[in-house]
Structures are given as structure tokens and as C-alpha cells.
A and B are shown apart, each in its own frame.
Chain A
Amino acid sequence: MSSSAENPTLTTEITKPSTEIATETAQSAKKINLKTSDDQIFEVEESVAMEFATVKSFFEDAPSSTDTVPLPNVPAKPFSQVIEFCKEQIKFKANPDETEKKKSNSEFVKEKTNEDLVEMIPVANYLEIKDLLDVLNQAVADRIQNRSVEYVRSFFGIDNDFTSEEEALLREEHAWAFEDVDED
């Protein structure tokens, strides 16, 4: 699973067989088709899909509408990881255990690359999965904690628009904040 960043197709392959297994065990489990911005169709169990507030309200607004919900702001790769997270979360709904939930959340972010995390944030936001958004924001905050400015820039893919004089001035003003920073 940790190789998902190198091969984005891998996670979609994992997603599909697992829903098939679920079909065999629980015939009645309703499936919902979700179409990503890059035209991939994910067949997701209803209980998982209802974790996405955006999808939930789609059905509440129009209960008897189409069987495929378009998600125009959601690319397949981060979406498959979001599904992975929600499947885990559902387990804790029936059986609330804060310690286990925390452990599962930290396992989830641990194996994700920086890129995975940053890509999932807009998806979690669009689908209104509050818990996931919180977990992701915290994970990103933890990863840039005590790291250099250059590291943070490359983490978010941001270009420096300060002149070297401006930047030097800022660094001088808060010199303490630039000392004893972790190596990149």
C-alpha cells in the first residue's frame, strides 16, 4: 500500500476486489457508483459513500436520481485513499474506541507521501469529511514542524517571491525562529 505514490493505479485495484468480497458476504449492501474528475468509476458501498457529506446531500436532495454520482473536483488517486480511510472509520462507528481510532489514523497518514497528503486535503474538503480533513491538516503540520523554509516551499510547491533583501530582513527580525532547525 505504501507504494501507492509510485503507482497510482495500484490503489484502485485494491479498492475493487474488496468491494466484491463484501458483495458475497452481504448481498443486501447497496452500492453507489461515484465518478471521479478523470472519469474513473468507483463502486462504493453505501455506508462508505454516506461518509461523504457531499454525496449524502446529493441523495437527500434527489433520492431517486441516477445511479452514478459525478465528483467533478475529485481525481481518482487521492479518492481511492480517501475511500481507504473511510472504510477504516466506519469500523469505529459501531465500536467506538478512541485509542484504536487514533492509532488507525496515525497508521493511515504514516504510510502516505507528502504528495498524497496534500492531494487528499482538497478531496476531503470537497467531500466534507471533517475527521479526515482534521487528520490530514495535523499530519501536514507535523511534517513541516521544525523544518527549514526551503523544505516547506518544496513541500507545497511554492515559489519564493521575496527579494533576498526582504527575506534577510524577515529572518533577522525573528532570528530565534530560524535556529536549530531540523536538517532536510
Chain B
Amino acid sequence: MKRAQQSQNQELTMRRSTRLTDKFQKLPDELTIKIFSKLEDDPKTLIRCSTVSKKWASFVFKKTVHLSFIFSCTPEKNRSFPNSKLHSHISSSAIPAIMNAFSNLESIEIKLCRCPSRTPQPPCCQNITKMNVVWTGDDSQADTCLGFDVGLLSTIEGTTLSHVLSEGKKLATLLSSSVMDFYWTMIDHRPKTLRRVVIMSAKMKGFRSGGKVFISYEQFSKLRDSVSKSRVNERWLEDPQNVVHWHRKNTDREHLLQEQVWLVYHWQFILANGKFTTKDLSLKKDDVVELLDGLDAGAAGSDNGTEKRRSQYHQE
């Protein structure tokens, strides 16, 4: 017991003296890098770590192979939106700098939030997207799911939906979306190591709580059959022949036509030998479910979302 006491005193003295010279033992490099791998969904902190020292800069920028983050593209000079921990407002001009700095990136997962707008947006502008880009050399293939909000079921009873989109208009909407913006920046500035990018819309929690009917363009004209006597025709809506996916609102047993109608498309953008082509793909229920799942996981500031993304990545 006495000996133990002595050695404990000895240790205390030793600790005190080491503390004076060096606050604590420095971590070996390979262990520091493991900490950085926990920050791959927080590029904001990672980038700040790169300014700690030259060695850290090379670890952060050379060893990071995966990034995932939530952000919204803000206008260049607009700094008035506050940033939260996991959700940054980045002007799109900052993206090339990120791409250049992380020179060994292999995959990126981006959740794009809608930039808060002071002017109300017309219904047809509300859209959700999921784009999955895979590169083989310089060629790429981008599977894109796009959904437009075209109004409530109740509005189709008397007249047709007011926001019927022409084929041309749907493409124009997609091309002007922030997801596409990001896609172009990515194509121009990506590090050569980059093989996979997922870009998708992020929504706040609760997006799924309302009932939603997802239909394809071909099914659109038949939609009025889903409504009879001011009630939703449940059997019609549940038939995959008529509707791609009916996301029921759990609490609403009455179905008073408050379902939002979403027109969904599925394309493939193929970039091969410098030539750009598009191909229409058929749409399955699973595509829509995946889109909805992504929206939930990406709810800004949601800790569950972070954990889910982390574990997803580690399973790969």
C-alpha cells in the first residue's frame, strides 16, 4: 500500500511537470486521421482543421475520400442567412474551391436546401430531385428523379389542374434547378478521382406527414377517376397502373382531397465521348420511396440524419 502511494505521488509529480512543458502528448498522425474521418459530413469543420497546421492541411485535403453535406446555394453577396452546425449557406462560387482543395475525393453526397425566399413561389416551382451520378473515366451517367408539385387533388375535381406542364417546360425547370446547377459545377471542377455523386433536395422534417400522390405524365390525364363524390377513390389510387406511389397521410382517415399531387419523371443523362444525351426511364414505386427517404434523412440539423449517413457510408 505504501509503495503504491509512493508511485502515485511520483506519477503526480511527473504529470505536473509534463503538463507544464507540453499540455499533452500529441496524437500520432494515423490516429488524428481517424478523427477526420468522423468529420466527413461536416466539411465546414474539416476545412477549418486544414488551417491548423501544414501537416493537418495535407491530411484533410489528401486523405478525405468522402464528403457529405447539407447546404443551400445563396446569392453571392447575401450573407444574411445564419449557418447552423450541419447546414451551411454556400454561394455556388465556393464549390470549385472545395473541389480543388479535396483533391482525392471519391464520392460526395449533397443535400440541397431551398434558399429561403421572401416571395411566395408558384406551386409548379416546388420540386424535389434526386440525382445519382456515376463516372467511368470522363464519361458519366446521371440517374435523375424529379417531382413537381402540381396542386391539390381537390383542384382537379371540377377543372383540370392548372399547372399542367409541357414536356419542354419540365426540362426547363429541371435545367434551372439548383441540383442541375450543382451538376454542371461538378462536371467542370471535379477531381479526377471522383466516381460517385448523389445530389438531392433536402426538406425540413414533416414533409412526409401530408398525403401525396405521385404520378407519371402518362397517368396524369386519368387522375380525375381517383375522385368520386368529393372523396378519394382509395382503390384507384392504390393501383400501380394508375399511380406510381400513394403516400398516405396516416392520421387522415377521411381523405378530404387534401393530397398533394406530384408529377414525377425519371431520366438518365449520359455524357459519353463529350456528347450529351438524355433517356427516359420508367418510374417505379421504389424510386419515389427512395426520394422520400432521402428527404427525411436530410432534414437540416437532424442528428438522426447524420448518424444514418455515417453508418450508410461505413457499410459501403
Q: Which residues of A contact B (CB under 8 A)?
A: 7-9, 12, 38-40, 76-77, 115, 118-119, 121-122, 125, 133, 137-138, 140-141, 144-149, 152-154, 156-162, 167, 170-171, 173-181
The 5 closest A-B pairs by CB, nearest first: A141-B38, A177-B47, A180-B83, A9-B8, A157-B23
Structural contact, B79 and A179, CB atoms closer than 8 A: yes
With contacts A173-B101, A174-B101 taken as known, whether A181 is within 8 angstroms of B52 at the C-beta atoms is: no
B85 contact set on A, CB distance < 8 A: 145-146
Bound together, the chains give a CA A153 to CA B10 distance in angstroms of 30
Chain A hits for B31, CB < 8 A: 121-122, 125
Closest to A144 in B: B45
Binary A-proximity of B26-60 (CB < 8 A = 1, otherwise 0): 11100110110111001111011111111111000
Least CB separation from A78: chain B residue: B25
B48 touches A149 (CB 8 A): yes
Q: Are B34 and A152 in contact (CB under 8 A)?
A: no
Interface residues of B (CB under 8 A from A): 4, 7-12, 14-15, 22-28, 31-32, 34-35, 37-39, 42-45, 47-57, 79, 82-83, 85, 88-91, 94, 97-98, 101
Q: Mostly helix, strand, loop or mixed at chain A's interface? A: helix
Residue of A nearest to B82 (CB): A180
A9 to B4, CA, bound (A): 10
Give Cα A38 to B12, complex, Å: 11
Given contacts A8-B12, A76-B11, A140-B35, contact A158 B48 (CB under 8 A): no
Apart from the given pairs A8-B11, A115-B23, 18 other A-B contacts in the complex at a CB distance below 8 Å: A9-B11, A38-B10, A121-B27, A122-B25, A125-B31, A137-B35, A145-B42, A149-B48, A153-B52, A157-B23, A157-B26, A159-B53, A162-B53, A174-B47, A174-B94, A175-B94, A176-B89, A176-B94
Measured CA separation A39–B248 after assembly (Å):
66
Contacting residues, chain B, for A179 (C-beta < 8 A) = 79, 83
B81 and chain A: residue at smallest CB distance: A180
**Residues in chain B near residue A119, CB distance under 8 A:** 24-25
Residues of B within 8 A of A181 (CB): 48
Question: Is B97 a contact of A145 with CB atoms below 8 Å?
Answer: no
Chain B: which residue is nearest A121 at the CB level? Answer: B31
When C-beta atoms are compared, the residue in chain A nearest to B47 turns out to be A177
Decide if B44 touches A149 in the complex (CB within 8 Å): no
Do the beta carbons of A160 and B48 come within 8 Å of each other?
A: no
A8 and B14 alpha carbons, distance in the complex (Å): 11
Chain B contact residues: helix, strand, loop or mixed: helix
- B11's contact among A40, A121, A145, A174, by CB below 8 Å, is which? A40
From the candidates B9, B35, B51, name the one contacting A149 in the complex (CB within 8 A).
Answer: B51
Contact B54 A161 (CB under 8 A): yes
Compute how far the CA of A138 lies from the CA of B51 in the bound complex, rounded to whole angstroms: 21
Select the residue from B23, B35, B39 with max chain A CB neighbours within 10 A: B35
Query: B7 contacts A148, CB within 8 Å?
Result: no
Are the CB atoms of B52 and A158 closer together than 8 Å? yes
Q: How far is the CB of A170 from chain B (nearest CB, A)?
A: 5
Closest partner residue, chain A, to B30 (CB atom): A125
16 A-B contacts (beta carbon < 8 Å): A39-B7, A76-B11, A122-B25, A133-B34, A138-B38, A141-B38, A149-B51, A156-B26, A156-B52, A159-B53, A161-B53, A170-B50, A174-B97, A174-B101, A177-B43, A179-B79
Contact B88 A176 (CB under 8 A): yes
B182 to chain A, nearest CB (A): 15
In the complex, the chain A residue whose C-beta lies closest to that of B84 is A180
**Contact between chains at B52 and A149 (CB < 8 Å):** yes
Residues of A within 8 A of B4 (CB): 40
Asked if B45 contacts A146 (CB within 8 A), the reply is yes
Q: Which residues of B contact A76 (CB under 8 A)?
A: 11
Q: Are the C-beta atoms of A178 and B48 separated by less than 8 Å?
A: yes
Q: A173 to B57: give the CA distance in the assembly, Å.
A: 13
- Bound CA–CA A148/B97 (angstroms): 20
The docked-state distance in angstroms from the alpha carbon of A121 to that of B8 is 22
User: In the complex the two chains form, what is the Cα distance from A40 to B14 in whole Å?
Assistant: 13
Give min CB distance, A144 to chain B, whole Å: 6
Cβ–Cβ < 8 Å partners of A178 in chain B: 48
User: Are A118 and B34 in touch, CB under 8 angstroms?
Assistant: no
CB pair B49 A152 closer than 8 Å: yes
Question: Using Cβ atoms and an 8 Å threshold, which residues of chain B touch A140?
Answer: 35, 38
Query: Out of A9, A145, A160, which one reaches B52, CB within 8 Å?
Result: A160
